Amino acid sequence: MNTAADFQADILSAVAHPNRIRILEKIRYGINCNCEIAPELNMEQSNLSRHLKILVKSGILRSWKEGLRTNYEIADKRIYKLLDIAADIAKTKLEKQTEVFA
């Protein structure tokens, strides 16, 4: 049986990778085609494709075909709230660590 924690973990682990976070940031600022993301992030094409697939499968992204291209958009904008909080937590953590040397 799956409990709430399992579903939460599914969402969180879909986002818990540096490249996937970078992908989501690109999409956040208007880039929504696979082909534009790849060169910007300097990622191997098949690797990017797989990361995008993970994000779609987890329900974070939605994708549609447009000729040769595959476009992506956010399916649930709250994921950005989640990323922002993670950034805040990480920032505080770093500040506390460097405090020692101040």
Catalog residues that contact its own copies under the rule CB under 8 A: 3-13, 15-19, 21-22, 25, 58-60, 76, 78-79, 81-83, 85-94, 96
Task: Check if the beta carbon of residue 52 is closer than 8 Å to that of residue 34.
Answer: yes
Q: Which is nearer to its own copies, 53 or 78 (CB)?
A: 78
Residue 93 CA to residue 98 CA, distance in Å, equals: 9
Task: Indicate which of its own copies, DNA, none lies near residue 83 (CB less than 5 to 8 Å, by partner kind).
Answer: its own copies
Query: What are the φ and ψ backbone dihedral angles of 69, each rounded to 5 degrees?
Result: -80, 155
Q: Which is nearer to its own copies, 33 or 56 (CB)?
A: 56
Residues found near DNA in the complex (CB under 7 A): 13, 16-17, 19, 33-35, 38, 43-47, 49-54, 63, 65, 67-70
